[in-house]
Amino acid sequence: MDAPGTNQGPRAIAIIPARLASERFPRKALADETGLPVVVHVAHAAAKARTVERVVIACDSDEIAEAALRHGVEAVLTDPAHPNGTSRVAEAARKLGVPEDLIVVNVQGDEPEIDPGTIDAAVTALATKGTPVATVAAPMPAGEDASNPNIVKVVCDERGIAMYFSRSPIPYPRVGEVVRYKHVGLYAYRRSFLDVCTTLEPTRLELAESLEQLRFLGHGYAIAVARVKASHAGIDTPEQYAAFVKRWHEGDSASGV
């Protein structure tokens, strides 16, 4: 396997937005029952992606920055008042002086089990499809409730470009069976678009569905969608974190660690 940054394909920097406050799970980023904070797990996973040559945590507090540095992960302080992760990543990219030829990947700070291949898939889709932004989708497993509004669905055209994202069960199977794809919340941006997208006004459909990516589509910006075999689980609650810790320790036991 090529070391990070040595491949001849597209090159990326992974920026991980992290904040100390969390409504359902306060101080989630620093939970460390595995011996590593959650956000550091994410950084270590992102560093394994073939296309990623640099990983930075964009945080809102000295406490997260210090925890990152203790574990050898680069960090940059950003404004605590950002409305979303995208704007935090954009500020970090400006502060870091990220060059135009480097793709910026927004990796969610609460997804410690992200597959590095998922990051590579998003970067490759962006590089090959000519869009300003790319994201990821995975087939919905059998038995998963398509009507669940917490699961965002996406439909694409024949080129793999997003047509629409919705909390509703799209597409509707009027005739025959359909394979539904669930959106995986990871984005790869062209450096120039990252500054543009944070200036776009909210759109009617974005507000109706409460989905930020519909702002890009509403303003005419195409989104490439990389399809992967499976999605990864994020951590929103203490219960989900406990389940992750259990899987982590079981994995250590199985590997003889």
- Of residues 195, 174, 170, 192, the one with CA closest to residue 183: 170
The CATH number that domain 12-230 falls under is 3.90.550.10
Lowest-confidence pick of 17-31, 53-67, 112-126: 17-31
Q: Could you report how far apart the first and last alpha carbons of the chain are, in Å? A: 23
Mean pLDDT of the chain: 92
Contact yes or no for 202/215 (Cβ under 8 A): yes
**What's the pLDDT score for residue 24?**
81
**In this structure, which amino acid lies at residue 61?**
S
Whether pLDDT at 172 is above 50? yes
**What's the pLDDT score for residue 252?**
65
Report CA 249 to chain centroid distance, whole Å: 24
Question: 78 to each of 15, 94, 119, 227, how far by Cα in Å?
Answer: 12, 10, 23, 32
Q: What is the mean pLDDT of residues 51-55?
A: 98
Instruction: Provide the H-helix boundaries in the chain.
Output: 38-47, 62-70, 85-96, 116-129, 191-197, 204-209, 213-218, 238-255
Whether pLDDT at 4 is above 90? no
**What's the pLDDT score for residue 5?**
46
Lowest-confidence pick of 19-33, 219-233, 241-255: 241-255
Distance CA 134, CA 64 (A): 28
**What's the pLDDT score for residue 7?**
53
**pLDDT range class, residue 35, cuts 50, 70, 90:** very high
Question: 10 to each of 103, 138, 188, 223, 245, how far by Cα in Å?
Answer: 8, 22, 11, 17, 33
Strands 133-139 and 74-77: unpaired
The half-sphere exposure of 62 on its side-chain side, counting CA atoms within 13 A, is 0
Percent of the chain at pLDDT > 90 equals: 84
Q: Taking the domains of the chain in order of start, what are their residue ranges?
A: 12-230
pLDDT digits (tens, 9 = 90+) for 224-246: 999 999 878 789 999 999 999 99
Q: What is the mean pLDDT of residues 162-172?
A: 96
Both tokens assigned to 24: 């359902």
**pLDDT range class, residue 10, cuts 50, 70, 90:** very high
Contact yes or no for 56/14 (Cβ under 8 A): yes
Question: 94 to each of 45, 77, 99, 109, 216, how far by Cα in Å?
Answer: 24, 12, 9, 19, 21
Q: What is the mean pLDDT of residues 114-126?
A: 97
Q: What is the mean pLDDT of residues 84-102?
A: 95
Percent of the chain at pLDDT > 70 equals: 95
Both tokens assigned to 121: 């898939």
Q: What is the mean pLDDT of residues 117-144?
A: 95
Count the Cβ atoms, other than its own, within 10 Å of residue 63: 13
- Of residues 75, 111, 114, 106, the one with CA closest to residue 190: 106
